[in-house]
Amino acid sequence: MAQFHLEMKVNGKPIALDIDPGLRLLDVLRDILHLTGTKEGCGEGECGACSVILDDELVDSCLILAPQAHGRGVITIEGLALNGELDPYQQAFLEVGAVQCGYCTPGMILAARVLLNHNPKPSKQDIAKAISGNLCRCTGYAKIVQGIEIAASLKETKAGVSRA
Amino acid sequence: MKKRGYGIANMWYGIGNTANPNPSGAFVDFLDDGTAIVLTGCADIGQGSSTVLAQIAAETLGICVEDVVIVSADTEVTPDAGASSASRQTYVSGNAVRLAAENVRNQVIAIAAELLNIPTETVSLSQGEIWNSDKSSGMSIKEIINKCRSKGILTLGHGSYNPVTTELDPETGQGIPYATYAFATQVSEIEVDTETGIVEVKQIVAAHDVGTAINPQNVEGQIEGGCAMGIGYALLEEVILKDGEIQNPGMSTYLIPTALDVPEIHTIIIEESEISGPYGAKGVGEPALVPTAAAIANAVADALGIRMYELPLTPEKIIAAIKNRKEVEAI
Amino acid sequence: MPEYNIIGKSVQRIDGPRKVSGEAQYAADLDIPGALCLKVLRSKVAHALLQGIDTREALKVPGVVGIFTHVDIPGINSYGIIVKDQPALTNRVRFKGDAIALVAAEDEASANKALRLIKVSLQDLSPIYDIREAMREDAPAIHETGNILSVYKVKKGDVESAFKQADVVIPGSYTTQRVEHCYIETEAGVAYMDNDMLVIKAGTQNPHYDRRDVARVLGLAMNKLRIIQTTTGGGFGGKLDISVQCFLGLAALKLGRPVKIAYDRQESFVATGKRHPFFIDYITAANREGKLLAVKVRIVGDTGAYASYGPATLLRAAVHATGPYEVPNVDIEAFCVYTNNPFSGAMRGFGTPQMAFACESQLDLVAQAVNISPLEIRRRNIFQKGSLTATQQKLDVSVGIGKTLEAAWEKALQVMPGLGDENK
DSSP B169: P
Which residue does chain A place closest to C23, by CA atoms?
A37
Closest CA to B260 of C41, C85, A127, C241: A127
Show residues of chain B in contact with C393, CB under 8 Å.
175-178
Amino acid at residue number C59: L
Out of C21, C31, C234, closest to residue A137 by CB: C234
pLDDT digits (tens, 9 = 90+) for A44-55: 999 999 999 999
Distance of CA B40 to the CA centre of its chain: 17
Out of C233, C349, C408, closest to residue B186 by CB: C408
Out of A35, A44, A90, closest to residue C20 by CB: A90
**Is the ipTM above a cut-off of 0.85?**
yes
**What's chain B's length in residues?**
331
Residue spans of alpha helices (H) in chain B: 49-61, 94-116, 141-150, 216-231, 292-304, 315-330
Show residues of chain B in contact with A100, CB under 8 Å.
46-48, 221, 225
Q: How confident is the model at residue C421 (pLDDT cuts 50, 70, 90)?
A: low
pLDDT at residue A137 in the model: 98
SS3 state at C37: strand
CA angle in degrees (0–180, nearest 5) for B197-B201-B203: 155
Q: Is the pLDDT of residue A159 over 90?
A: no
Whether C138 and C146 have beta carbons less than 8 Å apart is answered as no
- CATH (one of 2.40.128.20, 1.10.3720.10, 3.40.190.10, 3.10.20.30) for A4-79: 3.10.20.30
Show residues of chain B in contact with C97, CB under 8 Å.
246
Out of A97, A137, A138, closest to residue C10 by CB: A97
**C71–B contact, CB cutoff 8 A:** no
The answer for C 17-36 residues in CB contact with A (under 8 A) is 17, 19-26, 28-29, 31
pLDDT digits (tens, 9 = 90+) for C127-160: 999 999 999 999 999 999 999 999 999 999 999 9
Interface test with A, best of C10, C21, C266, C275 (most A CBs within 10 A): C21
Q: φ, ψ for residue B177 (rounded to 5)?
A: -75, -30
pLDDT at residue C2 in the model: 52
Helices (H) and strands (E) counted in chain C, each on its own, are: 12, 15
Interface test with C, best of A94, A99, A101, A110 (most C CBs within 10 A): A101
Judged by CB atoms closer than 8 Å, whether chains meet at A100 and B47 is answered as yes
**B278–A contact, CB cutoff 8 A:** no
CA distance B298 to B300: 5
CATH code for the structural domain at A88-157: 1.10.150.120
pLDDT digits (tens, 9 = 90+) for C332-369: 999 999 999 999 999 999 999 999 999 999 999 999 99
Judged by CB atoms closer than 8 Å, whether chains meet at B18 and C316 is answered as yes
Q: How far is A164 from chain C (nearest CA, A)?
A: 30
Show residues of chain C in contact with B232, CB under 8 Å.
179
Mean pLDDT, range C7-35, rounded to an integer? 97
Which residue does chain A place closest to C348, by CA atoms?
A138
Distance of CA A158 to the CA centre of its chain: 21
Out of B65, B83, B175, closest to residue C11 by CB: B65
Show residues of chain C in contact with A29, CB under 8 Å.
none
User: pLDDT averaged over chain C?
Assistant: 97
C84 in the Ramachandran plot: left (φ > 0), alpha (ψ -120 to 50) or beta?
Answer: beta
pLDDT at residue C423 in the model: 46
**B201–A contact, CB cutoff 8 A:** no
Q: Is the pLDDT of residue C386 over 60?
A: yes
CA distance B127 to B144: 14
**C163–A contact, CB cutoff 8 A:** no
CA distance C355 to C172: 12
Mean pLDDT, range C123-127, rounded to an integer? 97
Whether A137 and C184 have beta carbons less than 8 Å apart is answered as yes
**What's chain C's length in residues?**
424
CA distance B239 to B311: 12
Closest CA to B318 of B200, B202, B192: B192
Q: Is the pLDDT of residue A161 over 70?
A: no
Show residues of chain A in contact with B224, CB under 8 Å.
139-143
**C10–A contact, CB cutoff 8 A:** yes
pLDDT at residue C3 in the model: 83
Q: How far is A70 from chain C (nearest CA, A)?
A: 24
Q: How far is CA B313 from CA A10, B298, C191, in A?
A: 46, 11, 43
pLDDT digits (tens, 9 = 90+) for A34-83: 999 999 999 999 999 999 999 999 999 999 999 999 999 999 999 998 88
Any idea where the domains of chain A sit in the sequence?
4-79, 88-157
Which residue numbers of B are catalytic?
A: 286
Closest CA to C234 of B283, A140, B208, B239: A140
Q: Is the pLDDT of residue A157 over 80?
A: no
CA distance C349 to C334: 16
CA distance C144 to C147: 8
- CATH (one of 3.30.70.360, 1.10.3720.10, 3.30.365.10, 3.40.50.80) for C132-179+274-423: 3.30.365.10
pLDDT digits (tens, 9 = 90+) for A102-139: 999 999 999 999 999 999 999 999 999 999 999 999 99
pLDDT at residue A163 in the model: 44
Q: How far is C245 from chain B (nearest CA, A)?
A: 14
Q: How far is B11 from chain C (nearest CA, A)?
A: 6
Contacts of C221 (CB under 8 A, 6+ apart): C215
Pairing of strands B36-40, B24-30: antiparallel
Q: Is the pLDDT of residue C424 over 80?
A: no
pLDDT digits (tens, 9 = 90+) for C168-189: 999 999 999 999 999 999 999 9
Q: Edge-to-edge strand order for the sheet containing C148-156?
A: C148-156, C329-338, C292-304, C278-286, C168-175
| C388-413: burial string, b at 16+ Cβ within 10 Å, e else | ebbbebebeebbbbbbbbebbbebbe
pLDDT at residue B327 in the model: 87
Out of A96, A134, A141, closest to residue B228 by CB: A141
Out of A41, A44, A140, closest to residue B227 by CB: A140
The answer for B 203-232 residues in CB contact with A (under 8 A) is 217-218, 220-221, 223-229
Any idea where the domains of chain C sit in the sequence?
132-179+274-423
**pTM value?**
0.97
Neighbours of chain B (3+ CB pairs under 8 A): A, C
Are A4-79 and A88-157 equal in CATH topology? no
**What's chain A's length in residues?**
164
Q: How would you write the pLDDT of chain B (331 residues) with one tens digit per residue?
A: 999 999 999 999 999 999 999 999 999 999 999 999 999 999 999 999 999 999 999 999 999 999 999 999 999 999 999 999 999 999 999 999 999 999 999 999 999 999 999 999 999 999 999 999 999 999 999 999 999 999 999 999 999 999 999 999 999 999 999 999 999 999 999 999 999 999 999 999 999 999 999 999 999 999 999 999 999 999 999 999 999 999 999 999 999 999 999 999 999 999 999 999 999 999 999 999 999 999 999 999 999 999 999 999 999 999 999 999 988 888 7
Interface test with C, best of A10, A87, A103 (most C CBs within 10 A): A103
Q: How confident is the model at residue A162 (pLDDT cuts 50, 70, 90)?
A: very low
pLDDT digits (tens, 9 = 90+) for B253-278: 999 999 999 999 999 999 999 999 99
CA distance A127 to A150: 12
Show residues of chain B in contact with C353, CB under 8 Å.
230, 233, 289-294
CA distance B32 to B3: 66
**B309–C contact, CB cutoff 8 A:** yes
